[in-house]
Amino acid sequence: MRILRTKDYDAMSAAAARLIAAQITLKPNCVLGLATGSSPVGAYQNLIAWNKAGELDFSAVRSVNLDEYAGLNPDHDQSYAYFMRHNLFDHVNIDLANTNVPSGVSGDEECQRYDQLIQDFGGIDLQLLGLGVNGHIGFNEPDDHFSLGTHKVTLTESTRQANKRFFASLDEVPTHAYTMGVRDILQARRVVMVASGTNKAQAIKDAFFGPVTPQVPASILQYHKDFILVADEEALSLV
């Protein structure tokens, strides 16, 4: 595991974007595993700027997103499919047909279909992750075992509370989600996590400076052979 320590969110975003851009430059038809949430937005803005400047070409890039809320269709403005179009896909020359977000409305068969899709792509070249305040990755919540493939999860109260800022009220935050499993994430050839702010400091300490345990799902990344944590000073303030 390597840690890239940055001063603040903007520097974290630029550093993570450089890693993603390097991946696209080395392998123009790479498979990117993408995340939603506040953490990667700045990295996406850098990628958009470089694409608009003609320095980065997404035309052959393929993407698979980590997760989606159960029950939200892709046009719902809080769905992760909508988030990705709004924050990245609509602003770069990616072919939308090459982008994939798990369906939140296709039932449980979606899990098998999504794992097969990742397999048919030959796996993920670079997986971008955020970190939940409870140590989750994707929506793999603290549990007594690590998950394998894509599956449906019940969101914890802490995750629903953390995400209610995007909804009108807590009642509107979905109770379930579909997420890639820990095996899907670990099989990515490179994993890059972005984390910023003091509210992530305890999760970073628990995940990367404590024992590997399914109670802190991100801790399994300690075993990944090419894992890069890009975190700012506040997020690293407890370590």
To the query of whether residue 55 is one of the catalytic residues in this protein, the response is no
Smallest distance, Å, CB 55 to ligand F6R?
A: 26
To the query of whether residue 87 is one of the catalytic residues in this protein, the response is no
To the query of whether residue 67 is one of the catalytic residues in this protein, the response is yes
Nearer Cβ to ligand F6R (66/118): 66
Please identify which residue in 132, 135, 181, 217 interacts with ligand F6R, judged by CB under 6 A: 132
Query: How far, in Å, are 111, 128, 216 from residue 185 at the CA level?
Result: 14, 9, 15
Residue 125 DSSP class: S
Catalytic, out of 68, 115, 141, 184: 141
Contacts (Cβ under 8 Å, ≥6 apart) of 100: 62, 63, 64, 65, 114, 117
Smallest distance, Å, CB 129 to ligand F6R?
A: 6
Question: Smallest Cα–Cα separation from 219: which of 209, 231, 229?
Answer: 209
Q: Cα–Cα distance between 95 and 108 in angstroms, integer?
A: 27
Residues touching ligand F6R, count (CB under 6 A): 14
Show the site string, 30-69: x = touches ligand F6R by CB under 6 A, - = not: -----xxxxx--------------------------xx--
Please provide the distance, in angstroms rounded to a whole number, between the alpha carbons at the two ends of the chain: 15
130 binds ligand F6R (CB under 6 A): yes
To the query of whether residue 134 is one of the catalytic residues in this protein, the response is yes
Smallest distance, Å, CB 19 to ligand F6R?
A: 16
Q: Cα–Cα distance between 79 and 170 in angstroms, integer?
A: 15
Q: How far is CA 187 from the centre of its chain?
A: 14
Contacts (Cβ under 8 Å, ≥6 apart) of 225: none
Show the site string, 64-103: x = touches ligand F6R by CB under 6 A, - = not: --xx------------------------------------
Nearer Cβ to ligand F6R (60/117): 117
Catalytic, out of 134, 140, 151, 234: 134
R_g (Cα) of the chain, nearest Å: 16
Nearer Cβ to ligand F6R (57/76): 76
Q: Cα–Cα distance between 27 and 61 in angstroms, integer?
A: 9
Catalytic, out of 51, 65, 67, 151: 67
Binding region for ligand F6R (CB under 6 A): 35-39, 66-67, 130-132, 136-139
Catalytic residues: 67, 134, 136, 141
